[in-house]
Amino acid sequence: MSGKWWFTIAAILLTATLYRNRLRAYLEQASANVRAFDLPSARAYDALVASILEGFYARVAGEVAAAHPGGKVLEVGSGTGRLAVRLAREAPGMTLTGVDISDAMVERAARRASVASLSERVRFEVGDVAALPLPDQEFDGVVSTLSLHHWPNPAKGLVEIHRVLKPGEEARIYDLAHWLWRLARGRDRLTQLAAASPFGGGELEVVRWPGSVPAFVLLRLRRTREAQL
């Protein structure tokens, strides 16, 4: 083989190596952004991420509305209010409180509820899941979607959710499937968190969406009823 061909092959291999490293870095950053929903603004989140998940929110809203057709429900990590507004429409007997750590998200969510004429039943406030600004045993149900994987302290979050949930009632926490965040948390992270929490354990289910893709999981946690004295 001539020197020219050796040079060409070497150049191709070098280019492929450089491109592969660049592509790997890009994919790793993209994956991190997806896991953290690290977008520049609430408006960008709403347009680029939340709109893509409308079908998922529709599914969650149907499940939660069936479980809680009435009563008071808390949404942790309520974002721009898409799920809360869907829930309020599906369950006219339900009142909702959304809590999110971002001022911009809460502002946008409140605007969405107002436009939908749902402000009387749907409200939002700024708060951290590790220190919820809410009374004990206030809610008949709790829901959270795609939020737990970037709580700074998930254990504290579950303690707080247990505190604000009424005895005998259930929290439904939807998050990314293990294969999407396994390196960050570990395959058994959710079941371990549930077992160590005041709930004492929970049920973990695979959520197949879109279609048959096992992209999400549902952690169901029930607060036990206190013994009668």
Query: What order of strands is seen across the sheet that includes strand 203-207?
Result: 122-126, 93-100, 70-76, 139-145, 165-176, 216-222, 203-207
pLDDT the model gives residue 155? 96
Check whether residue 71 and residue 11 sit in a common domain. Answer: no
Cis peptide bond prior to 210, omega within 30° of 0: yes
Q: What would the mean pLDDT of 150-169 be, rounded to a whole number? A: 96
Answer yes or no: do 126 and 218 share one domain: yes
Question: Do 199 and 158 share a structural domain?
Answer: yes
pLDDT at residue 31, rounded to an integer: 45
Are 145 and 174 in contact, with CB atoms under 8 Å apart? yes
Residue 224 near residue 167, CB atoms below 8 Å: yes
Q: What is the pLDDT of residue 29?
A: 47
Rounded Cα–Cα distance for residues 8 and 105 (Å): 53
CB-based contacts of 20, cutoff 8 Å, min separation 6: none
pLDDT digits (tens, 9 = 90+) for 116-145: 999 999 999 999 999 999 999 999 999 999
pLDDT (tens digit per residue) in 179-223: 776 655 566 788 999 999 999 999 999 999 888 888 899 999 999
Min mean pLDDT across 12-21, 160-169, 205-214, 218-227 is at 12-21
CB 78 within 8 Å of CB 142: no
More confident residue, 16 or 66: 66
For residues 151 and 79, state if they share a domain.
yes
Rounded to an integer, the average pLDDT of 161-183 is 89
Within-domain flag for 227: no
Q: Does 41 reside within a domain?
A: no
Residue 163 binned pLDDT confidence (cut-offs 50, 70, 90): very high
Q: Is residue 205 one of the residues assigned to a domain?
A: yes
- Which range of residues forms the domain containing residue 7? 3-35
Give the H/E segment covering residue 122. Answer: strand 122-126
CB 111 within 8 A of CB 85: no
CA–CA distance, 78 with 111 (Å, rounded to integer): 13
DSSP state of 227: P
126 and 15, same structural domain?
A: no
Tokens for 169, please give them: 């009632």
93 in a structural domain = yes
Cα 22 to Cα 71: distance, rounded to the nearest angstrom: 51
Same domain for 70 and 25:
no
The first and second tokens of residue 193, run together, are 């968190």
Residue 193 lies in a domain: yes
Same domain, 18 and 97: no
Q: Do 125 and 31 sit in the same domain of this protein?
A: no
Q: Are residues 16 and 52 in the same domain?
A: no
Q: For the segment 28-67, what is each residue's pLDDT rounded down to a tens digit? A: 544 454 444 444 567 777 776 666 888 999 999 999 999 9
Which of 92-101, 107-116, 146-155, 173-182 bottoms out in mean pLDDT, i.e. has the lowest?
173-182
Same domain, residue pair 18 and 113: no
Q: Would residue 57 count as lying in a domain?
A: yes
Q: Express each pLDDT in 90-104 by its tens digit.
A: 999 999 999 999 999
pTM over 0.85: no
pLDDT value of position 40: 53
Residues 6+ away with beta carbon under 8 Å from 171: 141, 142, 143, 144, 161, 162, 165, 199, 220, 221, 222, 223
The answer to whether residues 105 and 173 belong to one domain is yes
Domain annotation covers residue 75: yes
Q: What percent of the chain has pLDDT over 90?
A: 61
Q: Residue 48: phi, psi to the nearest 5?
A: -95, -30
Q: Please check whether residue 229 lies inside any domain of the structure.
A: no
**Which CATH number do you get for residue 134?**
3.40.50.150
**Number of folded domains that form the chain:** 2
Residues 198, 113 share a domain:
yes
